[in-house]
Amino acid sequence: GNSVTQMEGPVTLSEEAFLTINCTYTATGYPSLFWYVQYPGEGLQLLLKATKADDKGSNKGFEATYRKETTSFHLEKGSVQVSDSAVYFCALIPFSGGYNKLIFGAGTRLAVHP
Amino acid sequence: DTGVSQNPRHKITKRGQNVTFRCDPISEHNRLYWYRQTLGQGPEFLTYFQNEAQLEKSRLLSDRFSAERPKGSFSTLEIQRTEQGDSAMYLCASSPKGGDRGGEQYFGPGTRLTVT
């Protein structure tokens, strides 16, 4: 089946530290991969995406590269800010006709301290 | 563009009661999704509409759950004879035609259901 596994949180960092949140997936075929973010009190927002192997998604200083050989899509940011504190969800859409649903990981809470 | 809206934002009900939630998608989006999120977990897919047609339902959607999208605009999710296990955040999302593989689903703030 299709599934997403991401590192457990919370991840606690000081401002300007380097961030990595690991995400691996299991899927048949070639899924599209995503990172969504949920800021406190707000709805889920798409952060970045990659739709084929070796693609790099990037947004707001965050990056993730679609690695088919390791079935991974790790999220990175070189210098985090307090405003990045949120819950981050890795997700996929399977490559199969008629499938439109997002399959999410459990989420990783990030707390950034000044 | 006011985004996806959901009402109510919070609902507390007693076990055995029926509840109904409403989702208003972004106006030009023809695709609408319902997800359920429990504490500490990621959202889980419940059902999907393209216009007014319900094209996919998860096995999570038991017989007590029903969703509609009359006229392809707003959608309602009804839970009959609620159980404590139904307590969760119910999320609605919408996307424009052709946007799904790109993951461009826009989420509402959710309705938090508490069954006592």
Tokens for A43, please give them: 């709805």
Q: What are A55-84's pLDDT values in tens digits?
A: 999 999 999 999 999 999 999 999 999 999
End-to-end CA distance of chain A: 41
Residue A45 DSSP one-character state: E
Q: B42, A105: Cβ pair inside 8 Å?
A: yes
For A64, phi then psi, to 5°, come to -155, 140
Question: Which letter, b or e, does each residue of A87-109 get, where b requires 16 or more Cβ atoms within 10 Å of its Cβ?
Answer: bbbbbbbbbeeebbbbbbbbbbb
Residues A46, A32 contacting (CB under 8 angstroms): no
From chain B, pick out residues whose CB is under 8 angstroms from the CB of A34. Answer: 103
Q: Which of A7, A48, A96, A101 to mutate to test the interface with B (most CBs of B within 10 A)?
A: A101
pLDDT score of A99 more than 80: no
From chain A, pick out residues whose CB is under 8 angstroms from the CB of B110. Answer: 43
Please give the pLDDT value at position B100: 54
* Out of B56, B103, B110, closest to residue A93 by CB: B103
Percentage of the residues of chain A whose pLDDT score is greater than 70? 96
From chain B, pick out residues whose CB is under 8 angstroms from the CB of A105. Answer: 42
B4 touches chain A (CB under 8 A): yes
Measure the CA–CA gap between B24 and A5, rounded to whole angstroms. 31
Give, for all 116 residues of chain B, the pLDDT tens digit.
579 999 999 999 999 999 999 999 999 888 999 999 998 899 999 999 999 999 889 988 889 999 999 988 999 999 999 999 999 999 999 988 765 555 678 999 999 999 99
Q: Bigger pLDDT: A1 or A49?
A: A49
Tokens for B95, please give them: 């996307």
For A82, phi then psi, to 5°, come to -55, -35
Please give the pLDDT value at position A34: 94
- Minimal-distance CA residue of chain A relative to B34: A101
Taking residues A85-99, report their average pLDDT: 82
Single-letter residue type at A54: D
Please give the pLDDT value at position A57: 96
Q: A44, B93: Cβ pair inside 8 Å?
A: yes
Single-letter residue type at A78: G
* HSE-CB for A89 with a 13 A CA cutoff: 23
